[in-house]
Amino acid sequence: MGTAATTPSARETELLEAAYRYVLEHGLADLSLRPLATAIGSSPRVLMFLFGNKDGLVRALLARARADELTFLDALTDHPTPPDLAAAVDQVWRWLSAPEHHPLLRLWTEAYARSLVDPDGPWTGFARTTVDDWLDLLARFQPPAHRDTPTARTTRTLALAVLRGALLDLLATGDEPRATAAVQHHITTLRGTRD
């Protein structure tokens, strides 16, 4: 992460966490080192030393956001026997729709969009990696014997599209009951078909 050492120093970790809290509240769109440094009790010079430049800091912040996302994915251990994609979609939606996760999800949405429109920026590959992470998660909830079939890939792709679309709708409108009803409708459909 930092330029001075392979393992981040305590100060680098402390500043990254403070900067992460800052971007969760303010986003990345107008991120400027001077106001950020002031807000987190540092200086632009220290941030440049630790992260190389603004792009290096943004990459570190996106890696930190992904770590939160992966922590959730790893904690999603309600692996029913037999595997149940519908149950996974329900559990993921409960996490996505929880208001305390919305700052992280707004940051994720911003980085996802920037990865699509500016593929050479510090968010290079962010959208693709996110899609892969979530498809891998959903695959774990499909029967192993069918997981690699075209139908199973299509089913989990549709589940991801429903979750992502409902999330974007929820973040845009705040209409949680309507978005949840749409996801629940899809869950009902999943339960009526084979994964």
Query: Using an 8 Å Cβ cutoff, are 115 and 126 in contact?
Result: yes
pLDDT at 79: 56
Does residue 80 carry a pLDDT above 80?
Answer: no
**1-64 is classed in which CATH architecture?**
Orthogonal Bundle (1.10)
State pLDDT tens for residues 104-163. Answer: 999 999 999 999 988 888 888 899 999 998 999 899 899 889 999 999 999 999 999 999
pLDDT exceeding 70 applies to what percent of the chain?
93
Query: Using an 8 Å Cβ cutoff, are 55 and 82 in contact?
Result: no
The length of the chain in residues reads 195
Q: What is the DSSP letter of 41?
A: T
To the nearest 10°, report the CA torsion of 121, 125, 128, 134.
-110
Has this prediction a pTM greater than 0.85? no
State pLDDT tens for residues 90-100. Answer: 989 999 999 99
| Number of other CB atoms surrounding residue 85 within 10 Å | 23
Query: Using an 8 Å Cβ cutoff, are 52 and 46 in contact?
Result: no
pLDDT at 70: 80
Enumerate the domain spans of the chain.
1-64, 76-195
pLDDT top residue among 76 and 35: 35
Distance CA 168, CA 105 (A): 9
Mean pLDDT across the chain:
88
Closest Cα to residue 28, out of 64, 61, 69? 61
